[in-house]
Amino acid sequence: MWRLSLFILVMLSAWVSAAQASECPALLQGDLQKLRSQERIDLCAAFAGKPLLVVNTASFCGFTPQFKGLEALYQRYKGQGLEMLGVPSDDFRQEADSSEETAKVCYVNYGVTFAMTETQPVTGPAAIPLFKALTAQSKAPSWNFSKYVVDRQGKVIASFSSRTKPDDPALIAAVEKAIASAP
């Protein structure tokens, strides 16, 4: 009898795990190290079913002042469910050498409160799975501060170049569309 109970428990556990994995979009599978923290961000737990703006960032880029506008955009829409994820990358050779320096630029210089990760590769074969999925649904980042708007189902509904400022009407419209999307 105990073997049958154990078998049922194992099968039920496998079924629940499979169901949970199928509810999480492929784009959000995995986790990333949080900037200057021992914590990891479980992408599915943090962002599944939520509108999301993902940005690859760099501390010493001509577009770095966009952090101010990104934070303003986040503050404007976070009450409506918007999540934002900044992913520092040195793919374009403009990221700080240490996470301490990156954190200073983000948190101290620009007052960022949205989620930030440790430096990650975002282009080419070494790109992290999140950016491979973003690229598969749209295009690879061609420079720092490329922006990806993701709806509640984990689908990229728009992507924007570095030149698109956070207060650009097209970006705002895409964010509002993601917020309005059905879970």
- Region 51-73: what's the mean pLDDT? 98
SS3 86: strand
pLDDT of residue 130: 98
State the catalytic residues: 61
Average per-residue pLDDT for the chain:
91
pLDDT of residue 161: 98
- Region 92-114: what's the mean pLDDT? 97
Supply 152's token pair.
């509640």
- Region 11-30: what's the mean pLDDT? 62
* pLDDT higher than threshold 70 for residue 1: no
Other Cβ atoms less than 10 A from the Cβ of 163: the count is 11
Instruction: Give the confidence band of 183 by pLDDT, cuts at 50, 70, 90.
Output: confident
Percent of the chain with pLDDT over 90: 87
pLDDT of residue 23: 85
Supply 19's token pair.
């169901």
Instruction: Give the confidence band of 13 by pLDDT, cuts at 50, 70, 90.
Output: very low
* Residue showing tokens 């030149």: 163
Instruction: Give the confidence band of 61 by pLDDT, cuts at 50, 70, 90.
Output: very high
* pLDDT higher than threshold 90 for residue 11: no
**Residue-range domain boundaries for the chain:** 24-180
Q: What's CA 73's distance to the chain center, in Å?
A: 15
pTM here is 0.88
CATH topology of domain 24-180: Glutaredoxin (3.40.30)
- What is d(CA 142, CA 112) in angstroms, rounded to the nearest whole number? 23
* pLDDT higher than threshold 90 for residue 133: yes
pLDDT of residue 21: 43
